[in-house]
Structure formats: C-alpha cells, structure tokens
C-alpha cells in the first residue's frame, strides 16, 4: 500500500489532464459566455432606459408643438438664399461668394427643408468664422449640414470654403 506503481501514476496523470482539459475547454468558456450575456443584458437595459427617456422627451415636445423650433421665428417670405446673402453682406464676405445654389425638398406633410450650397473663394479664416457664427447664432434655425475648407497651395492664409446651409420651413 505504501508504494505507488507506474500504472497508478499514469492514471493520476491522465485524471489530472482530464480535469485541466475540462476546466480549460469546458468551464472557462461557459463562465466567459455567461459574463458576456450579463454584459449584453446590462447594455441593452441601459439602451432601453435611454430610449424610454427619449420617448418621454419626444412626447413632451409633441405636446408643446413647434414652440422654439425656429419655424415660428422666421418672418413671412423668409428665404434661406436671401438670408445668407444679407449675412454675407454684413460679414463683408459677399465679394468672396463664387456661387450659391438653392434647393428645396419636402421632409413631411407640412414641412420642407431649404438648402443652399455655396462656395466662398479667397477668404480669410477670420472673415469665414465671423460669417459662420452670424449664421449659426442668428436665431432663425439655420444650420450647416456640411462644411469643407481648403487652403490654397500658394497662400496658406487664403481659404476656399464649400458650405451646405439648411433650415426647415413650414410648407405653404
């Protein structure tokens, strides 16, 4: 009873290997999978809470109507094209306008989106930022959907800006 023979050592080694293999390829992946499920559940619960919060905010906004949306802040006959032209004159960038292309699309019943694509050539950054700020903070609900600024190769202080401005209007 005191001595262990080779066969018993072999059986013990095989048993230890089986236990380690079961641990490595059975129990550890199962525990990792369980933790992944718990993490995904927590993430989805958090997303659901955010969606419910957004739903409440949307319902509250719908109950208030269009108050503060910028649609009621525009006077009758407002056009984005002329508005941008006026602000360009005030910001002293009208001579830098290479072109302005207006477009309109219907977003939903009773609402349309006005867009104006414009290019400003040979403009300095200070004037461009002044113009952009005057548009964004005008209180008319005008925004920039895209803005691309390039520096000219020979004079890095002179810029070319491609802008896409937009606003929403109540359909008439």
- Give the residue among 120, 81, 67 at the shortest CA–CA distance from 97: 120
pLDDT in tens, 57-111: 888 777 765 444 545 556 777 888 999 999 999 888 899 999 999 999 887 777 8
pLDDT band for position 172 (cuts 50, 70, 90): low
Domain covering 80-170, topology? Alpha-Beta Plaits (3.30.70)
Residue 30 confidence (pLDDT) above 90: no
pLDDT of residue 42: 93
Burial class, 6, CB count within 10 angstroms (exposed 0-12 / middle 13-18 / buried 19+): exposed
Give strand ranges (E) for the chain.
97-108, 111-124, 143-151, 158-170
pLDDT in tens, 108-134: 777 888 999 999 998 888 889 899 999
Average pLDDT rounded to a whole number, residues 24-50: 90
- Distance, CA of 3 to CA of 10 (rounded, Å): 14
Return the percentage of the chain with pLDDT > 90, whole number. 30
């Amino acid at each position: 009873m005191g001595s262990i023979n080779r066969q018993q050592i072999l059986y013990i080694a095989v048993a230890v290997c089986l236990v380690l293999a079961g641990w490595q390829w059975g129990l550890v992946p199962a525990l990792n999978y369980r933790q992944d499920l718990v993490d995904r559940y927590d993430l989805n619960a958090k997303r659901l809470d955010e969606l419910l919060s957004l739903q409440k905010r949307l319902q509250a906004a719908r109950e208030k109507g269009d108050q503060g949306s910028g649609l009621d802040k525009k006077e009758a006959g407002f056009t984005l094209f002329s508005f941008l032209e006026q602000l360009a004159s005030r910001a002293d960038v009208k001579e830098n306008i290479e072109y302005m292309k207006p477009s309109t699309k219907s977003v939903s019943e009773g609402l349309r989106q006005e867009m104006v694509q414009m290019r400003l050539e040979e403009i300095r950054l200070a004037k461009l930022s002044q113009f952009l700020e005057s548009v964004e903070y005008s209180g008319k609900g005008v925004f920039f959907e895209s803005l691309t600024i390039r520096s000219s190769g020979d004079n890095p202080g002179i810029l070319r800006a491609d802008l896409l401005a937009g606003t929403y209007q109540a359909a008439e």
